[in-house]
A and B are shown apart, each in its own frame.
Chain A
Amino acid sequence: MLFRNLGMLVGAAFVLAACTPPARTLVTVAEPGQLAAETKTEVKSDRKATEPKNVILTREDITDRAYKAIADIKVVVRRLFLPDPDPTQAEADLMLKTTAAALGADAVVLVRYGSSGITLTTWGTLESQGRAVYFTE
């Protein structure tokens, strides 16, 4: 009995050691208008990366400067364990900016958020979406 329990413990330790902790943030990037599509084509941007701190983030559209859309971005921030902090809009904003900057975007427009709440696998999930764009003038 003792050996069996010990064996199970060692087995469990091996399994856990091989596991990497799941990410707190998940990011999906798709062609503009394609986030909800079943199959998403990979977004390739030939633009030089920008600085995340310089990326404008707005719930509005930008109408006083011409722009081109690069990609739609979806960010999911998850509270995986009970002691973890709740996901916040600031965290989602930071990830939107970082992802958009890597694509060479100057702004993320039409940003929207879901409502944070418990899901089947997390103690809190907050989703946000936005469209990464660059100014053409």
Chain B
Amino acid sequence: MPSISLNKLRALSCGVLVALAISGCARPAPDLPPDYGSVDSKTPLTADQFSAQDLALSCTQARQQQVELTDEASRLTGVIDDSKGYNEAIGILGALFIVPALAADQNPDEKRRLDEIQTRWDTLVALRRYKSCTT
């Protein structure tokens, strides 16, 4: 059985660490909601899918919230984009020198908030359809 030296094992572990550290940098697109908009939808919207506060919102208020969400999402996307160059440099260093890239900036808070924003956005879009707001 071939023996692996301690140095090779160490280098391999470092490579795995680099890969793990940078592999989570991309955030997947949030899943689409069920098809409630088709004329023959099997999952039409009902009032119990919305909170009482949301049902109390007017079309204008729902639209205003969407505008605020868009602004916040743009700001967070900018923060994540700013980290891209740094993460790329970490990736190159990792590939060349097999050093642990534990310092890769993955912006977990910003990504989590972007997912929350999309969820809220989907709720508001569905609410606007439920309330028959114009596009």
B87 & A114 in contact (Cβ 8 Å cutoff): no
- Interface hit among A5-13, A17-25, A38-46, A66-74: A66-74
Given known A-B contacts A61-B129, A63-B132, A133-B38, A120 and B23 have beta carbons under 8 A apart: yes
Q: How far is the CA of A114 from the CA of B22 in the complex (A)?
A: 16
Residues of B near A112 (CB, < 8 A) are 29-30, 32, 118
Bound complex: CA A61 to CA B118 (Å): 14
Q: What are the residues of chain B within 8 A of A124 when measuring CB–CB?
A: 26, 84
Is A100 in contact with chain B by the CB < 8 A criterion?
A: no
Do the beta carbons of B38 and A119 come within 8 Å of each other? no
Instruction: Give the interface of A toward B (CB within 8 A).
Output: 32-33, 35-36, 59-64, 66-69, 72, 74, 82, 86, 109-110, 112-120, 123-131, 133, 136
Residue of A nearest to B76 (CB): A115
B residues less than 8 Å from A82 (CB atoms): 88, 92
Whether A60 contacts B26 by the Cβ 8 Å rule is no
Q: Which residues of B contact A (CB under 8 A)?
A: 19, 22-35, 37-40, 43, 77, 80-81, 84, 87-88, 91-92, 106-107, 111, 114, 118, 121-122, 125-126, 128-129, 132-135
A105 to chain B, nearest CB (A): 12
Among the listed A32, A35, A69, A117, which residue makes an inter-chain contact with B26, where contact means beta carbons less than 8 Å apart?
A117
Contacts A60-B125, A86-B84, A117-B26 known; 19 new A-B pairs at CB < 8 A = A32-B38, A33-B43, A60-B135, A61-B126, A61-B128, A63-B133, A63-B134, A82-B88, A110-B122, A110-B125, A114-B27, A117-B106, A118-B22, A118-B84, A119-B26, A125-B26, A127-B26, A127-B28, A127-B29
CA distance A133 to B27 in the complex (A): 26
**Residues of B contacting A128 in the complex (Cβ-Cβ under 8 angstroms):** 29
Q: Which of A35, A64, A112, A124 has the most CB of B within 10 A?
A: A112
Q: In the complex the two chains form, what is the Cα distance from A62 to B107 in whole Å?
A: 33
CB atoms of A69 and B128 under 8 A apart = no
Given known pairs A61-B125, A63-B128, A64-B135, the reply for A115 and B87 (CB within 8 Å) is no
Taking CB as reference atom, which chain B residue is nearest A66? B39
Residues of A near B35 (CB, < 8 A) are: 32-33, 69, 131
Asked whether, in the complex, the Cβ of A116 is within 8 Å of the Cβ of B81, the reply is yes
